[in-house]
Chains A and B, each alone.
Chain A
């Protein structure tokens, strides 16, 4: 076990994946000498050369489309999108080609592309640098979507994503890049929890709190505070957003009878809507109260100075917990 930041864990994950398989290559803007704007590829070009750590022209559709061609040729491209808000120019290639080619070719063509996206807010960034586009990708069949929340998962899931024969959209929460945690660098991938499994981050009996990415740490804080009030929250870190591990989720909901979903993406047609619809279909008679969403507002991501009003914080999560427990809504009392 080594103590590493998530950034360093990702860097190690890439390094090992590239050492293990010479078909793996990384493409993106500024990932060579600079090591990426977040230094996730730091030192990799020195080790693997410019043919495998590829500084690309500044063109996201170009990066994604050439990755498709490389995958046709048997390569396993890992694409770095510099920031979440810049994935949109590549969206056509992702949705129309990356996601569909295996299906369109009746399984003849594999697209083992990993799309790494530094993701979401909370770091005081400029406009277009704090977006949460996960629902667009989850809605797209043919893609797998994962979101990591700690250095160990970052390291393991990244390697699993690269080894996966399907395209994987891999969300890296920017505000956790520098958070440290224990990482077992010698973990045997075959023994590690598979990429699609959710993780019970904290066991509890009163409320199931579903979340992913950077919100996991806020949810854990909320659970600690709630404990002082005698409320026992089970926090589930989904890890995989497509597919969702409904086995773990429904087992928890059947136990607690209460669900709160929190994410920082906007609410409308967001992942929370999908999660609650699916949980309701599966566990309707186990639910004691209506499920509750605690999400970002339905707005374009606000300016940095105001972002704390957008990203659900500990208090808003606890407010959601109060609602699902049928306690008087201490903050607003507003009926939805």
Chain B
């Protein structure tokens, strides 16, 4: 098993966030890692600028989402601020015909898979349980049951094996999710069948209010080898390192070597969702320390240092972000609710007499109001 990053079991994961593989320091200085370097040797400045742009756009989507929720236009929002490098860096490595199984937080994955604004808003607005057609985006319905999607990913990967295809599956889950039976069962199944699946654990330090130390006493990436799955622990705020790790992991899965596991060590800058208050469980200093590791400023600094980030580029990205941001709001406000009777649709794929009867009844009941209104 190759590519196992050296792991130091630790009693305090919070102080050990630097025990990660990285290619860019917090100041944007390019450093070297023999495991990672080769995987991004071909990545040129233009590609890195494209990744930077994606991250800026994602941050803009996120701030629009937060604002729309605060204004009562969305029922809830799960911010991805701070996690852009992890989400974009992993999702952008996938091919369009690969398949993604994200959780509620991976707006960046959904965006990278090609979703238009409606595709990340509809469910949060409460108009439907999902915002896009999974088969169109190659992306499963975002998962709310913690960890369940890891198993779906493995099952999908088993299907790929049966089809003799060279696609891979990626699934994202949090540090909290690694405590769930489903994530552990997923690793058992994936290893047992050598399924082409990449597990991306986004260790953003918290499961709502619980620090990662409640879920784990040693780095989470250390678990995968116990299942027979090689793993890497990377700096989740370093887009270069994340891209390298994901390229390694997908290549591993795509070439028939079986599953791979990445722990991306990052930080959620905002609340868990718009319904919680993070000041109750974490302090300002911690937040400030992480602000210094911001994934966007880091790439910017690096690109500047090599003369690849100028004002024209910055202005273009800003304009793209403004355009996207401007599209998010009207898309949200223009959404119309489906008719009342439609709540009884799609429970089953085929006719179901019990539900058909309820539908007939409800339709007549609704018609009654229409008639009353005419009188």
Contact = CB atoms under 8 A, between A and B. Distances in A.
Interface of A: 25, 51-52, 54, 56-57, 59, 61-62, 64-75, 77, 89, 92-93, 96-97, 100-110, 112, 141-142, 144, 164-166, 196, 242-247
A57 B194 CA distance: 13
A309 to B, nearest CB: 34
Contacts of B158: 54, 66, 69-70
B55 to A, nearest CB: 28
Given A65-B186, A69-B157, A104 B141 contact: yes
B197 to A, nearest CB: 9
Interface in B165-204: 169, 181-182, 185-186, 188-189, 192
Given A144-B352, A166-B348, A57 B152 contact: no
B162 interface: yes
A242 B355 CA distance: 10
Contacts of A100: 129
A103 B350 CA distance: 12
The 8 closest A-B pairs by CB, nearest first: A69-B155, A65-B151, A73-B159, A66-B155, A62-B185, A243-B354, A165-B349, A69-B156
B185 A59 contact: yes
Interface stretch (B130-138, B264-272, B321-329): B130-138
Contact of B349 (A56, A64, A73, A110): A110
Nearest to B171: A69
A332 to B, nearest CB: 35
Given A65-B182, A108-B135, A244-B354, A74 B162 contact: no
B296 interface: no
B162 A51 contact: yes
A80 B245 CA distance: 37
B118 to A, nearest CB: 13
Interface in B303-358: 345-350, 352-355, 357
Contacts of B156: 69-70, 72-73
A108 B134 contact: yes
B148 A93 contact: yes
Given A68-B155, A110-B349, A166-B349, A105 B189 contact: no
Contacts of A61: 151, 181-182, 185
A68 B151 contact: yes
A100 B140 CA distance: 13
A92 B348 CA distance: 19
Given A66-B152, A66-B158, A96-B148, 20 more contacts: A25-B162, A52-B162, A65-B155, A65-B185, A70-B155, A70-B159, A72-B152, A72-B155, A73-B99, A73-B156, A92-B148, A93-B182, A100-B129, A102-B349, A104-B141, A105-B134, A106-B345, A141-B355, A245-B353, A247-B353
Given A72-B134, A104-B141, A66 B154 contact: yes
Interface of B: 99, 101, 128-130, 133-135, 140-141, 145, 148, 150-163, 169, 181-182, 185-186, 188-189, 192, 345-350, 352-355, 357
A160 to B, nearest CB: 11
A51 B158 CA distance: 9
A103 B152 contact: no
Contacts of A107: 345-346, 349
Contacts of A89: 181
Nearest to B128: A106
A77 B156 CA distance: 12
B159 A75 contact: yes
Nearest to B169: A69
Given A93-B151, A144-B348, A244-B354, A62 B188 contact: yes
Nearest to A22: B162
Contacts of A64: 151
30 contacts: A56-B189, A57-B192, A59-B181, A59-B188, A62-B151, A62-B189, A65-B148, A65-B182, A65-B185, A69-B159, A72-B99, A72-B159, A73-B160, A74-B159, A89-B181, A93-B148, A97-B145, A97-B148, A103-B346, A104-B130, A104-B141, A105-B141, A108-B130, A108-B135, A112-B349, A165-B349, A166-B350, A166-B352, A243-B354, A246-B357
Nearest to A64: B151
Contacts of A196: 352-353
A63 B159 CA distance: 14
Nearest to A58: B188
A89 B151 CA distance: 14
A74 B350 CA distance: 17
A81 B164 CA distance: 28
B151 A101 contact: no
A62 B352 contact: no
A164 B357 CA distance: 20
A93 B192 CA distance: 20
A71 B350 CA distance: 16
Contacts of A54: 158
A105 B141 CA distance: 7
Contacts of A67: 155
Given A73-B160, A243-B354, A66 B151 contact: yes
Contact of B189 (A51, A59, A142, A165): A59
Nearest to B343: A103
Contacts of A112: 349
Residue of B130, B158, B348, B355 with most partner-chain A CB within 10 A: B348
Given A96-B145, A144-B352, A106 B346 contact: yes
Residue of A61, A64, A107, A196 with most partner-chain B CB within 10 A: A61
B352 A105 contact: no
Contacts of B352: 144, 166, 196, 242-243
B124 to A, nearest CB: 14
A273 to B, nearest CB: 16
A52 B159 CA distance: 10
Nearest to B185: A62
Contacts of A70: 155-156, 158-159
Contacts of B101: 69
B134 A142 contact: no
Contact of A108 (B133, B169, B186): B133
A69 B154 contact: yes
Contacts of B181: 59, 61, 89
